[in-house]
Structure 1
Amino acid sequence: MLMRSCTMRFPKSLALATLLMTSAALPAHAADPAYSPLVPNLPTGWIVTLKANLKVGPAYPGADDWDFIGFPSVSFRRAGTVERFSAPDDGLSFSFLDDSALRFGVVGRFQGGRYYEDNRELFGLKKIDWAVEPGLFVEYWPVEFLRARAEIRRGFNGHEGFVADLGLDYVQRFGALTVSLGPRLALGDDEFMETYFGVTPVEAALNGQVTPYDPSGGITSVGATLGASYNWSEQWSTTAFVTYKHLVGDAADSPIVKQFGSENQVGVGLTLSYSFSTGG
């Protein structure tokens, strides 16, 4: 009996379906490594910058003699972010928005007092204690080398007025060296002007060299600031600067300025900075 060999043939569609079901039954993790996205190790934590600041400038607004002040300060930025430019005469600030051309946040400054011990010619004029000036700031970079900044603050302790500072900085970087230069405009309200530039009739009578004076708020000075910063390493940097203010308006006309002070207010300073990371 002749026997024929029989070969069973499966339709191609059935073979394909069987292959797909077999692949689906395999453990999923076997294919995971080929398709898992790589997650970069992003920096975490903060960069802390400690600063030692030394400044020499007018003993009080309108003074012609200099006073020395030294104080520490600290600033923070997220790890992995570039350190933003800060002019040497900016107030101490913390930004709520720090990753665009527009920045805004809180700011604070310290204003020294005016004391009879500083100048015997001030006899009869009221003592003015030191003041702190918390407030808000906003700044904008229309182009990468030009910054506009405005601060508005309110005084406590020595004076209780509102003050504002407006500035424009032309910024150029030459490797590790950053140079900035720009104009400044300062304003003060009636309360601020009366505190530092006003003279009551009683004060005028006691002093004998000045006449009564009641100034109004407005522009107090115009000027400019020049600064230069050098990064010695990723941790260490130094900044040197010169500021100039020319008193104008009712501030310049004050008998305190004309008799005992100067319309020209010059200051110099030096800052030493050290930065370190708190992240892992």
Structure 2
Amino acid sequence: MSKRKQTARLTLLLTIFVMLTKLLCGAGGASAGNVSSRRIAASGNNSDSNPLPAQTAVEDTYPKVAPASKDWTIRIGAGAILSPAFVGSRDYQLMLVPALKVTYLNTFFASVEDGVGYAVINQNGWRAGPNAKIAFGRKEDGDNPFRIAGGKTSALHGLGNIDTTLEVGGFAEYRWNNISTKIGLRKGVNGHDGLVGDLSVKYTHTNQSLSPMAGLPLVVSFGPRLTVVDATYSKAFFGVDADQAVNSGLPRYSPSGGVLSYGVGSFIVVPISKQLSATFLAGYDHLTGDAGSSPLVSERGSPNQGMFGVLLSYEFGFDSR
């Protein structure tokens, strides 16, 4: 394949990814920042929500179902996810969510849930490199454009809306046999302006005997995870300033940084055909520290956050040469 054709394909794929990301962000999504009463009055109900809070359950470690190995791999699909209306909510909503992922030779990846990244280091079980992603926020009215069932929560009234945040940073991952460990650190360059760190450990097992497709194994993965944030991030999502206290009726609260949550995530990938698969997701996270003690959580929400979902995806690929 000529370099011109390779460049054209790469440009097309990145254009599609950027357009879908912009569509999702414009439809409602972002990270956070403390919002004053003046901003609440100005924004009304037109700013962003957290439409995809559970899609991060499927990370870039998602195993391939198709046996054929291609330079470029593309996965498209959609699914339904039941999760809290916002981080810390006790109200649940059922959402219809899109799924899109593009990878190149286990080095480049781009997806709605993981953002864009490139493994500068990719050897001896190690992968590490820069990563940038869009963090989705929330609407004051408790709604999001992907909601198909479940009522709007009133817990956020008076707290204002939260804008989309671009987070930039890096990741490092090490795999040893069936176990993988991943750490990520990102800084918001707008929106919440905070620092977010993620740590996860996964055990992945493949089983051919339980698979409905000969030659394509059923994949099971599960493991613990931990998220830490700085004070700026914590105040953005869980703090209550003077103006917000007046508008919401909640007491003033200024949280510090630290461990935001700990929990466990799991998924099962069931091959339907060589290119089609169903993924079943489940996860639980417990908000702790100052986030768990926030009046938004203790008075109007819950520190216990569960998630269940199913995704149907189609995977295909092509070689760049």
Do the two structures share a fold, i.e. TM-score over 0.5? yes
Query: How far has the Cα of 1:48 moved from its partner?
Result: 1.9
Q: Is the 8 A contact 1:187 1:218 kept in 2?
A: yes
Structure 2 partner of 1:198: 239
- Confirm or deny that 1:73 pairs with 2:107: no
Aligned-partner Cα distance in 1 for 2:88–2:158: 17
Q: Structure 1 residues 185 and 90, CA, compared in 2 at 3 Å: closer, same or farther? A: farther
Percent pairwise identity = 31
8 Å contact from structure 2 (residues 231, 255) kept in 1: yes
SS in 2 for 1:203: helix
User: Where does 1:43-192 land on structure 2 (aligned, <5 Å)?
Assistant: 46-54=71-79, 55-67=81-93, 68=95, 70-78=97-105, 91-92=114-115, 93-118=117-142, 119-141=153-175, 143-175=176-208, 176-192=217-233
Gaps of 5+ in 2: 1-67, 143-152, 209-216
* Deviation of the 1:164 alpha carbon: 0.8
Structure 1 residues 264 and 126: alpha-carbon distance in aligned structure 2, compared to 1, 3 A threshold? same
1:132-167, Cα deviation, whole Å (9 max, x unpaired): 4343111112x3011111111223554211101100
Q: TM-score, with normalisation over the residues of structure 1?
A: 0.72
CA distance in 1: counterparts of 2:310 and 2:77, whole angstroms: 8
Q: Describe how 1:20-39 pairs up with structure 2 within 5 A.
A: none
- C-alpha deviation, 1:44, in angstroms: 9.9
Aligned pairs for 1:238-277 within 5 A: 238-277=278-317
* CA distance in 2 between partners of 1:277 and 1:63 (Å): 39
> Is the Cα contact below 8 Å between 2:155 and 2:301 reproduced in 1?
no
Task: Say how many residue pairs are matched.
Answer: 229
Aligned-pair CA distance for 1:63: 1.5
Amino acid at match of 1:259: E
By how many angstroms is 1:99 displaced?
A: 4.7
C-alpha contact 1:221 1:246 (8 A) present in aligned 2: yes
- Aligned in 2, Cα 1:214/1:174: closer, same or farther, shift over 3 Å? same
Change (3 A) 1:129 1:65: farther
Aligned mates of 1:115, 1:90 — CA distance in 2: 19
After superposition, the Cα gap between the structure-2 partners of 1:44 and 1:258, relative to the gap in structure 1 and judged at 3 Å, is closer
Q: Residues 166 and 45 from structure 1, CA distance in 2 versus in 1: closer, same or farther, beyond 3 angstroms?
A: closer
Moved over 6 A (4+): none
Q: Distance in 2 between matches of 1:134 and 1:195?
A: 18
Q: Report the TM-score when normalising by structure 2.
A: 0.64
Go from structure 1 to structure 2 and tell me whether the alpha carbon gap of 1:94 and 1:72 turns closer, same or farther (over 3 Å shift).
Answer: farther
**Alignment check: 8 A CA contact 1:53 1:269 kept:** no
Q: RCO higher in 1 or 2 (8 Å CA, sep ≥ 6)?
A: 2
State the AA in 2 paired with 1:196. Answer: F
CA contact (8 A) 2:182 2:201 kept: yes
CA contact (8 A) 1:198 1:212 kept: yes
Q: 1:201 Cα shift?
A: 1.9
Contact 1:113 1:158 in 2 (8 A): no
2-structure distance, mates of 1:66, 1:110: 23
1:37 is matched with none
Q: Is the CA contact 1:51–1:271 (under 8 Å) kept in the aligned structure 2?
A: no
Write out per-residue CA displacement over residues 44-91 of structure 1, whole angstroms, 9 at most, x where no aligned residue: 96232223243332222212223425123222233xxxx79x9xx973
Name the CA shift for 1:248/1:44 in 2 (closer, same or farther; >3 Å): closer
Pick the structure with greater CA Rg.
1
What amino acid is the match of 1:272? L
Distance, in Å, in 1 between the alignment partners of 2:181 and 2:113 is 12
Does the 8 Å contact 1:131/1:156 carry over to 2? yes
